[in-house]
Amino acid sequence: MARGASAATAPIIPTRSGRAPWTLRRRLVVAVVGLLALVSLVIGVVSVAILSANLMDGLDRQVESAAERSSVAFGGGRPTGADFNIGTPTASKVLNGPSQPPGTLALVYDGSTVTTGYTDDTGTVVALSNDQVTQLLTELDAAVQEGSTSVPFTVDLGSDVGEYRVLAQAAPTGALYLVGLPVSSVTGTATQLALVIAVVSLAGIVLVAFLATAIVRLALRPLQRVTATATRVSELPLDRGEVLLVDRVPLADTDPRTEVGRVGSALNRMLDHVDIALETRQASENKVRQFVADASHELRTPLASIRGYSELTRRSGQELPPDAIHALGRIESESVRMTGLVEDLLLLARLDEGRELEREPVDLTRLLVDVVSDAHAVGRDHSWDLDLPDEPVLASGDGPRLHQVFANLLANARVHTDAGTRVHVSLTTEGPSAVVTVTDDGPGIPENLRATLFERFARGDSSRFRGTGGSTGLGLAIVQAVVLAHHGEVMVDSRPGRTSFRVALPLA
Ligand SMILES: Nc1ncnc2c1ncn2[C@@H]1O[C@H](COP(=O)(O)OP(=O)(O)OP(=O)(O)O)[C@@H](O)[C@H]1O
Ligand SMILES: [Mg+2]
């Protein structure tokens, strides 16, 4: 259904497809959080690596001093007790030696027998499995072969014992031995540090995410105000009438030293230009309107004179040649038509000026009865029916103008359809409106005319009266202008075989 009111204000919004893009706020927050996470990760990895290296160095020193302390069991170093120089050296002698920390591991091979073990947390010596012993012996052998006896290295003794940092030594007695300390103390500390860094970083990231969201929101608030101004202006009907374009971006958001301020001041400048352009347009429109109104008004009197004189001459009773009588008849009928045209133009010009119409209760029931019977009198070869409610329906408005509206619609249903067409007029109430429909089963409004139907001088080519000058194309323009001036609505729905105009007017 085509609406009478112009649709030129409809905003042209390009349709967008695909995923919604990220907002600036989201992008900034994600960037800040991402960078912080990256920096935290680098700091964490570097710290843990440096700490591990330092602790490992410390462990190596401890292993070396444990090995040094063990040497007394083999008769080397400073003798601190008679016990250590007595008998064959064994792992337990090494482990029970002076100030060996719990967890110390020892393996002693005196050429024929191998003794091994490590102390647990309580200081008890625990034996190693055969596999572990074999592994240690292999490592010891390799170290001796390579001559790297005084360089600590790491041995993995399986999940129950864990990794050990060990040092292979050759005793002056010829015995070979290994002394080691668990790596778990180093890895434990490093893991702890990694955990602390991770937890602190995570907390920091969450905090920064919240803060960044708040800060960005605050920083973008001026942009929101600029957007709000632009949106408000975009919702104004700028295409017609007097426009009061007073909305501007607040002064605080137009500081050209900030990015948003530049947008704000550019928008304000643009609004100033648009305001001036609209004022100029309105002024020139008013001038044209005034001219049309004045011209129409001025034309009324001479037209009345022409009509009067021609009528007078025709009826004067003097003998006139038939050609002259015909010419006078034409002058008279054309001046009648021109008067109608001038009246229509004057009415449109006045409605355009926004001149207030009368506001009084108009009995639509009665008005429609009059209009339909007039149409019936003129259009005898059409069939007319009127459907009225039981109660009278009163609309608030200007009686003669409303009469003109329905007379125009019925005239259209008469002149733009063939003889025998059925025209149905109905009146109902819908909520706060009185609704009048004028429906005919004629050929319908030409396709090419539908978009501009309510525009001035829009008329169909097939109009029967066009050739004779009976049709001006102002009828529906007046219908729309009068209905809009009544704050009503006019719509049309037309297809071959059914054309329906629907006029809604506020009830009195
Ligand atoms: N009921 C209808 N059926 C078919 N065509 C119609 C109907 N009403 C209007 N039209 C078409 O719409 C055009 C515009 O109508 P409008 O009333 O504005 O002008 P007009 O009737 O041509 O001239 P005017 O009413 O000023 O004498 C008409 O010329 C006609 O082609
Ligand atoms: Mg008409």
Amino acid letter, residue 101: P
Shared-domain flag, residues 338 and 446? no
Q: Give the amino acid at 475.
A: G
413 lines ligand 1 (CB under 6 A): yes
E-strand spans in 277-402? 360-363, 383-387, 394-397
Q: Within this chain, do residues 73 and 215 fall inside the same structural domain, yes or no?
A: yes
Residues 112 and 226 in one domain: yes
Select from 70, 61, 66 the least CA-distant residue to 108.
70
Sign of CA dihedral 88, 91, 92, 96: positive
- Residue 453 domain flag: yes
Chain mean position to CA 208: 26
Residue 7 CA, ligand 2 centroid: distance in Å:
22
Cα(248)–Cα(274) distance, integer angstroms: 12
Centre of ligand 2 from the C-alpha of residue 407, in Å: 9
Q: What is the CATH number of the domain that holds 302?
A: 1.10.287.130
The residue out of 199, 234, 269 marking a domain boundary is 234
Residues 291 and 425 in one domain: no
Structure tokens at 341: 């045209």
- Residue 473 beta carbon below 6 angstroms from any ligand 1 atom: yes
Question: Is residue 306 one of the residues assigned to a domain?
Answer: yes
Pick from 115, 170, 116, 165: nearest CA to 148: 170
* Cβ-contact 208, 31 below 8 angstroms: no
3-state DSSP of 98-143: CCCCCCCEEEEECCCCEEEEEECCCCCEECCCHHHHHHHHHHHHHH
Establish if 148 belongs to a structural domain.
Answer: yes
Say which DSSP state 442 is in.
S
For residues 367 and 401, is the Cβ–Cβ distance under 8 A?
Answer: no
- Of the candidates 352, 11, 87, 43, the residue with the CA atom closest to the CA atom of residue 193: 43
Q: Does residue 3 sit within a domain?
A: no
Ligand 1 contact via 409 beta carbon (within 6 Å): no
Query: Environment class of residue 382 by beta-carbon count within 10 Å: exposed (0-12), middle (13-18) or buried (19+)?
Result: buried
Contacts of 398 (CB under 8 A, 6+ apart): 357, 358, 359, 360, 362, 482, 486
Q: What is the pLDDT of residue 358?
A: 85
> Chain-centre distance of CA 287, in angstroms?
43
Looking at the fold, whether 342 and 374 belong to one and the same domain comes out as: no
Given ligand 1 and candidates 337, 464, 476, 480, which is best to mutate, with the most ligand atoms within 8 Å of its CB? 476
Low-confidence ranges of the chain (pLDDT < 50): 4-11, 78-86, 463-464, 466-467
Which of 337, 355, 373 corresponds to the end of one domain? Answer: 355
Residues 228, 94 share a domain: yes
Q: What Rg value do the Cα atoms of the chain yield, rounded?
A: 52
CATH number at residue 438: 3.30.565.10
Residue 249 is predicted with a pLDDT of 92
Looking at the fold, whether 317 and 379 belong to one and the same domain comes out as no
d(CA 445, CA 78): 123
CB distance 459 to ligand 1 below 6 Å? yes
Task: Return the structure tokens found at 34.
Answer: 């991402």
Residue 133 in any domain: the answer is yes
Residue 491 to residues 4, 231, 500: CA-CA distances in angstroms? 5, 29, 8
The rounded Å distance from CA 327 to ligand 1 centre is 29
Q: What is the 3-state secondary structure (H, E, C) of 146-176?
A: HCCCCCCEEEECCCCCCEEEEEEEECCCCCE
Single-letter code of the amino acid located at 24: L
Q: Is the minimum distance from the CB of 439 to ligand 1 under 6 angstroms?
A: no
At 221 the three-state DSSP class reads: helix
- Position 5 scores a pLDDT of 45
Q: For residues 108 and 219, state if they share a domain.
A: yes
Q: Please, which residues have CB within 8 angstroms of residue 427's CB and are 6 or more apart in sequence?
A: 364, 365, 368, 387, 388, 389, 393, 434, 435, 436
> Distance between CA 234 and CA 237 in Å, rounded?
8
Residue 167 sits in the same domain as residue 245: no
Q: Can you give the pLDDT at residue 80?
A: 46
178 and 54 together in one domain: yes
Calculate how far, in angstroms, residue 378's C-alpha sits from the geometric centre of ligand 1: 17
Give the domain-ending residue among 323, 355, 387. 355
User: Is the Cβ atom of 347 under 6 angstroms away from ligand 1?
Assistant: no
69 close to 234: Cβ distance less than 8 angstroms: no
Task: Write the pLDDT tens digit of every residue in 400-442.
Answer: 999 999 999 999 999 999 999 999 999 999 999 999 999 999 9
DSSP sequence for 236-264: S-TTSS---------GGG--TTSHHHHHH
Whole-number Å distance, alpha carbon 414 to ligand 2 midpoint, is: 9
> Is position 15 within any domain?
no
Q: Which amino acid is at 151?
A: V
Q: Are residues 271 and 395 in the same domain?
A: no
**Residues spanned by the domain of 291:** 236-355
**Same domain, residue pair 347 and 365:** no
Please tell me the total number of residues recorded for the chain in this structure.
Answer: 508
Q: What secondary structure letter does DSSP report for 457?
A: T
Residue 412 lies in a domain: yes
Number of domains forming the structure of the chain: 3
Using a 6 Å cutoff on CB, does residue 73 contact ligand 1? no
Residue-wise pLDDT for 359-404, tens only, equals 899 999 999 999 999 999 999 999 999 999 999 999 999 999 999 9
Structural domain contains residue 26: yes
